[in-house]
């Protein structure tokens, strides 16, 4: 398994590779970010960003979306995977925000996860990017990188990956680290064609080749 010291060295390398890593979902408000993240489940950020301008033009806030017809929302997001269930979820989420939280997004991880379509990953993304509340959202990229580098066992659950990262990364760097790991996984250490031969992290990586002895 990769030690904390060696993983910290890897993070420094990734920071140099992607110093401007950031969330790539387009939104103007915390509510819109919440909706975009819900829609991004099993979909690409690029695909979500193509659909949300029309959605947010029609329903810019929780009050308007709570009153929307499911068929109208489905029409606006039909290019996104699972759009039927997602349309129902975002409308129900908007209704709950209006009725249960006074029109405000709860800034609490447990409360956020009571909203339809909101899991731990979504809650961490919204709290971090919208409110600056520290958290590490483990998506497919973060999980893949953590396992390829053997920071965690291959059998580790998403929650175990998150807990391990929270132990080895200082809290004040959780949000930044989350984005950098995503960029590294999305644009370099990809699922199907990782750029192993030109990877500065290779000396630390069992997956991509022999591990450095240093």
Residues contacting residue 83 through CB under 8 Å, at least 6 positions apart: 74, 77
Residue 37 CA, distance from chain mean position: 7
* Cα gap 35→126, rounded to integer Å: 10
Q: Would you call 63 a catalytic residue per the annotation?
A: no
Give the sign of the dihedral formed by CA 35, CA 36, CA 37, CA 41.
Answer: positive
Instruction: Pick the catalytic residue from 86, 121, 129, 164.
Output: 121
Distances (CA, A) of 6 to 2, 66, 105, 176, 204: 6, 48, 38, 18, 7
Buried b (16+ CB within 10 A) or exposed e, 29-42: ebbbbbbbbbbbbe
Q: Would you call 139 a catalytic residue per the annotation?
A: yes
Instruction: Pick the catalytic residue from 4, 16, 45, 139.
Output: 139
* Cα gap 204→155, rounded to integer Å: 20
Q: Which residues are catalytic?
A: 121, 139
């Amino acid at each position: 398994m990769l030690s904390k010291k060696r993983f910290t060295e890897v993070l420094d390398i990734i920071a140099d590779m992607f110093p401007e890593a950031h969330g790539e979902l387009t939104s103007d408000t915390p509510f819109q970010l919440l909706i975009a993240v819900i829609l991004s489940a099993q979909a690409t950020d690029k695909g979500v960003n193509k659909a949300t301008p029309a959605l947010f033009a029609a329903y810019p806030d929780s009050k308007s979306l709570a009153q929307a017809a499911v068929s109208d929302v489905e029409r606006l997001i039909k290019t996104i995977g699972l759009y039927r269930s997602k349309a129902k979820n975002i409308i129900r989420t908007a209704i709950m925000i209006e009725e249960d939280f006074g029109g405000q997004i709860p800034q609490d991880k447990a409360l956020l996860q009571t909203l339809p379509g909101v899991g731990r990953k979504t809650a961490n993304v919204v709290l971090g990017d919208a409110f600056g509340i520290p958290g590490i959202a483990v998506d497919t990229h973060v999980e893949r990188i953590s396992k390829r580098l053997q920071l965690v066992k291959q059998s580790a659950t998403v929650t175990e990956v998150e807990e391990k990262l929270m132990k080895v990364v200082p809290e004040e760097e959780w949000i930044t680290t989350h984005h950098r790991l995503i960029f590294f996984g999305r644009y370099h250490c990809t699922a199907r064609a990782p750029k192993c031969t030109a990877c500065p992290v290779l000396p630390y990586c069992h997956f991509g080749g022999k591990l450095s002895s240093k």
